[in-house]
């Protein structure tokens, strides 16, 4: 496993997005725990969760509790594992994703996450999404207060644009360490944010990193969608004797040294395959082919 920098920490170059283990279509607990354990066995040291990763209308924190149980049940050393969680979104019974970014809500959400994860301080706490009804500075100010109180060690922001990243940096300084935006061969709207993260030394955590290669967990069961316009990823995979998903993650890692993709998984074999991307070094010609496919 290769490692990358997140704040003052070194974490695995590929993390695990734990959301699929708790939302619609999630596996039973035994397989979910086995999936997290397989990630740890493969050297993954970044686990991404959120209080809103649960079934519609369910109690907040299902995924956080699952991650905590998986770590407690793991037979090896987990002292270097960073659990990143998020607050500011909800999942009512209709299956929608709400946004609440008031300082009061974020502070209460962080307290709940602390208890569910069973830690004295959350390793990385991220604002899940800016709330258009709340000044962004107020939401980030809540993260600053949580940092000052020692309830979170590092802070990040998700689904943010360039201006918001700069605002958060101005408020949090070096304690802002990550940006988690959607980014994949299929969705490249965050190119400017990726470049800014490289400039500021912030970790960029792409969510749904396999878009165009596999279905997002938000869209239903995962699986190869077919070569389509992203045929180059499948061609390189065949030439290398690996999966298209592994090629996709290796391509993302090559985009910038600040990138740390967090692919989801519902089976041990899936995350083991994803983790292998950290050691898959693509050549210049291969990267050029993949870049061209992703830009078409």
Catalytic amino acids? Answer: 53
Return the structure tokens found at 225: 């969608």
Closest CA to 269 of 38, 94, 61: 38
Whether the CB-CB separation of 232 and 241 falls below 8 Å is answered with no
Closest CA to 282 of 227, 226, 239: 239
Whether the CB-CB separation of 86 and 126 falls below 8 Å is answered with yes
Return the structure tokens found at 244: 């298209």
Q: How far apart are CA 115 and CA 166, in angstroms?
A: 31
Closest CA to 266 of 86, 13, 34: 34
For 47, the enclosing helix (H) or strand (E) is strand 46-48
Residues 6+ apart with CB under 8 A from 110: 87, 122, 125, 146, 151, 152
Beta bridge partners of 252: none
| CB half-sphere exposure, 88, CA atoms < 13 A | 25
């Amino acid at each position: 496993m290769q490692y990358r920098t997140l704040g003052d920490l070194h974490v695995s170059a590929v993390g695990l997005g734990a959301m699929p283990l708790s939302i619609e279509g999630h596996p039973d607990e035994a397989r979910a725990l086995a999936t997290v354990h397989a990630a740890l066995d493969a050297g993954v040291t970044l686990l991404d969760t959120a209080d809103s990763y649960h079934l519609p209308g369910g109690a907040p924190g299902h995924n956080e509790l699952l991650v905590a149980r998986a770590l407690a049940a793991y037979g090896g050393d987990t002292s270097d594992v960073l659990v990143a969680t998020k607050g500011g979104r909800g999942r009512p019974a209709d299956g929608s994703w709400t946004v609440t970014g008031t300082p009061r809500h974020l502070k209460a959400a962080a307290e709940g996450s602390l208890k569910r994860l069973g830690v004295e301080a959350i390793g990385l706490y991220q604002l899940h999404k800016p709330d258009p009804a709340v000044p962004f500075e107020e939401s980030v100010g809540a993260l600053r207060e949580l940092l000052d109180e020692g309830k979170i060690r590092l802070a990040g922001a998700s689904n943010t644009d360039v201006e918001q990243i700069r605002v958060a940096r101005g408020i949090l300084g070096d304690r802002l360490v990550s940006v988690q935006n959607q980014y994949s061969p299929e969705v490249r709207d965050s190119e400017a944010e990726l470049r800014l993260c490289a400039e500021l030394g912030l970790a960029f955590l792409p969510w749904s990193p396999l878009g165009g290669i596999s279905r997002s967990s938000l869209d239903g069961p995962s699986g190869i969608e077919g070569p389509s316009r992203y045929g180059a990823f499948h061609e390189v995979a065949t030439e290398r004797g690996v999966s298209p998903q592994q090629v996709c993650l290796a391509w993302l890692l090559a985009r910038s040294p600040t990138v740390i993709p967090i692919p989801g998984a519902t089976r041990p074999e899936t995350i083991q395959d994803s983790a292998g991307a950290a050691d898959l070094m693509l050549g210049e010609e291969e990267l050029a082919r993949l870049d061209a496919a992703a830009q078409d």
